[in-house]
A = this chain, B = another copy of it.
Amino acid sequence: MTLSTFRTVKDLRAQVAAWRGQGLRVALVPTMGALHAGHLSLVQQGFTRADRVIASIFVNPTQFGPGEDFDKYPRQEQADADLLRSVGCSALYAPTAAEMYAPGFCTTVTVAGLSEDLCGITRPTHFAGVATVVTKLLLQALPDVALFGEKDFQQLTVIRRTVRDLDIPVEIAGVPTLREADGLAMSSRNRYLGPDERRIAPLLYRVLSDVGPGFLAGQMAGDLCAQAEKRLLDGGFASVDYVSVRDAETLETVPKWEGRPIRVLGAAKLGAARLIDNLGFPV
């Protein structure tokens, strides 16, 4: 049995309308493909919130900057379709770039502030690309709920803000990060790591894990993050984009704990990979 695959907005909408006509709730899981267990958990979580789950695969060019890995980003649609079918996914939406960006396309959705911080410092156009393509995918499918991984926590925050600000009629659900046995957050980009780098990689998780308890115990974010960055560099990371303690909802900086939930986020380079991860506290 093959997975139903739609290439056009028209076909996607016809399927969603047919399900709606049967009184079914529909979930969307937007992805860039190269699926791993983290993506599959989004599909599985989708079925706890809806009757049908559509996964989309689109490697969106506008969220990659110059010199980033758009060209080498892994593409494996048949393997992805097999994985999606294995967890009972209802359909795959895999539009072409021409279907997503017709000639003359010139509209951008930007989320000020939030998009310019953290990963936005080194990737200044990334979150506008994300906000625009996710707005399009949500309005193409008009699902009841869309699910995104907490692994890309800033992205999730930007998407929540976009949906709220533009009144997109959909519920956004964040799903906890899946990790390898040694703590490394699952990511399609982990395949860029060589064997030695793969052994070093889980240090990012451990370092972020250690920031939280110290912060909740009253230590200053600046001191804890400086120590964390040093540990990453000493441990073999090539460079650190940031380690930062933020308000879990607004992503504003929190120098010292004041009782609200916080998120510790980090981004660092290791070989050909730029790894990101984050953890929430109190746990």
* A interface residues (Cβ-Cβ under 8 A, vs B): 9, 13, 102, 104-114, 131-132, 135-136, 139-140, 142, 161-162, 164-169, 250
A110 in contact with B108 (CB, 8 Å): yes
Flag if B106 contacts A161 (CB, 8 Å).
Answer: yes
The smallest beta-carbon distance between A102 and chain B, in angstroms, is 7
Interchain CB contact (< 8 A) of A107 among B102, B109, B142: B109
Q: How far is the CB of A249 from chain B (nearest CB, A)?
A: 9
- Give 16 A-B pairs besides A106-B114, A109-B166 with Cβ atoms closer than 8 angstroms: A104-B161, A106-B113, A106-B165, A107-B109, A107-B112, A107-B166, A108-B109, A108-B110, A108-B112, A109-B109, A132-B166, A136-B165, A136-B166, A139-B139, A139-B168, A139-B169
Task: Evaluate contact between B167 and A140: CB separation under 8 angstroms.
Answer: yes
A-B contact pairs, 8 of them (CB 8 A): A13-B169, A102-B164, A102-B165, A104-B250, A106-B112, A109-B109, A136-B167, A139-B169
Give, as a whole number of angstroms, the nearest-CB distance from A66 to chain B: 18
Name the B residues within 8 Å of A135 (CB-CB): 166
